[in-house]
């Protein structure tokens, strides 16, 4: 931030250095945004300080030459030359207090909840459809020989996921608020969290239905391990490799972070980040639902039956 009388104070500084007392230098303030991430704030501060150092040196050279011209050949005091060598003071202040990364942690909690829900829902749906053995405390029920298609099982899993997303988001929000996370719009944060959990869960369920056990591993790798660096919460995407910036275009963690940041710290005002997050997640959800339904339908139509293990003693 530049003071309104910067030019006036700079041009008056050479004469002020010859007067008794300490001359007052103009101050340029660098206002950083800690909520954009600690690394992002440091990068921005270093870039601004580097640019202002060049400006400071050039202004000092110009003002020193001005003082020498006005002195008519008389020796210039050393104190005046020291002041004019760096005529501008540079100060740094945080525009907003840091949030401690709560936006990223809450977003990651929602994504992990979605992946975990998908992994838990699959055996639960199999037990409800009686296509797999189930345990209830001391009781154990064997699987019945009923005909359930892959598509029907997947539809049941999606239904359970949509029901499970609501209490999962509520529990995550309750824990986060209890730990001190600001949430001025509880209802909006809760609904957005349920949408993220349902979206990630549906994507993971479709991957598991398509790839089997490998789908669960791929979900953890893509949605969590690749999602953390591509969130852009700690290291800005501009300072990240191009591959990470490309992942950020569709990674659920990035979309969840943008939406949560908009709701937690901007009250959803403007809605640019929130609208983008909802749009990208809705597009990913539609692709996941279409792909999962199509793959399971093709396998059912082609008569690819489940392989049953042979009886052993």
Whether the Cβ atoms of residue 253 and residue 171 lie closer than 8 Å to each other: no
Q: Which two tokens stand for residue 238?
A: 């501009």
- Is this model's pTM higher than 0.75 or not? no
Q: Write out pLDDT tens, residues 28-53.
A: 877 776 666 666 677 777 888 888 88
**How many CA atoms, within 13 angstroms, populate the side-chain half-sphere of residue 131?**
19
**Helix intervals (H) in the chain:** 6-17, 38-70, 78-85, 102-128, 150-178, 186-211, 213-220, 242-247, 252-265, 272-301
Could you read off the pLDDT of 172-230 as tens digits, one per residue? 999 988 888 888 888 999 999 999 999 999 999 999 988 888 888 999 999 988 888 88
Q: Are 109 and 193 in contact (CB under 8 A)?
A: no
- The average pLDDT across 129-146 equals 65
How far apart are alpha carbons 70 and 17 in whole angstroms? Answer: 13
β-strand 134-136 against 89-94: which pairing, if any? unpaired
Angle subtended at Cα 256 by Cα 250 and Cα 257, rounded to the nearest 5 degrees: 105
277-302: pLDDT as tens digits: 999 999 999 999 999 999 988 888 87
| Cβ density class 147-183: b for 16+ within 10 Å, e for less | eeebbebbbbbbebbeebbeebbeebbeebeeeebeb
**CA torsion, points 267, 273, 276, 278, in degrees to nearest 10?**
-30
Give residue 312's pLDDT band: very low, low, confident or very high (50, 70, 90): very low
Query: How far is Cα 236 from Cα 73, in angstroms, rounded to an integer?
Result: 53
Q: Dihedral of the CA atoms 283, 286, 287, 289 (nearest 10)? A: 150
Q: C-alpha distances in angstroms, 156 versus 101, 121, 128, 141?
A: 36, 9, 9, 20
CA–CA dist 245, 226 (Å, integer)? 11
Mean of all residue pLDDT scores within the chain: 80
pLDDT in the model for residue 304:
57
Using CA atoms, how far apart are residues 248 and 231, in angstroms rounded to an integer?
Answer: 6
């Amino acid at each position: 931030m530049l003071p309104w009388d910067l030019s006036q104070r700079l041009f008056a500084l050479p004469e002020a250095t010859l007067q008794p007392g300490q001359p007052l230098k103009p101050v340029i303030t660098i206002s950083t945004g800690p909520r954009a991430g600690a690394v992002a704030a440091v990068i921005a501060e270093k870039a601004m300080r580097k640019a202002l150092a060049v400006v400071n040196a050039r202004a000092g050279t110009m003002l020193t030459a001005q003082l020498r011209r006005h002195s008519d050949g008389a020796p210039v005091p050393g104190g005046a030359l020291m002041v004019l060598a760096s005529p501008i003071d540079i100060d740094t202040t945080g525009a907003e207090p840091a949030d401690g990364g709560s936006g990223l942690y809450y977003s990651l909690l929602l994504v992990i909840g979605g992946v975990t829900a998908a992994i838990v829902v699959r055996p639960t749906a199999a037990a409800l459809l009686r296509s797999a053995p189930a345990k209830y405390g001391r009781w154990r029920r064997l699987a019945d020989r009923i005909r359930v298609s892959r598509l029907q099982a997947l539809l049941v899993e999606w239904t359970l996921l949509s029901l499970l997303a609501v209490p999962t988001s509520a529990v995550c929000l309750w824990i986060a608020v209890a730990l001190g996370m600001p949430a001025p719009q509880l209802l909006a944060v809760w609904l957005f969290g349920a949408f993220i959990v349902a979206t990630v869960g549906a994507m993971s369920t479709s991957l598991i239905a398509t790839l089997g056990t490998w789908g669960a591993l791929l979900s953890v790798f893509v949605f969590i391990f690749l999602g953390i660096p591509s969130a852009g919460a700690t290291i800005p995407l501009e300072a990240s490799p191009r591959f990470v910036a490309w992942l950020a275009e569709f990674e659920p963690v990035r979309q969840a972070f943008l939406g949560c940041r908009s709701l937690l710290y901007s009250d959803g005002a403007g809605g640019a980040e929130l609208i983008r997050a909802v749009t990208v997640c809705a597009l990913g959800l539609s692709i996941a639902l279409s792909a999962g339904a199509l793959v399971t339908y093709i396998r059912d139509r082609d008569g690819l039956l489940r392989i049953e293990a042979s009886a052993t003693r």
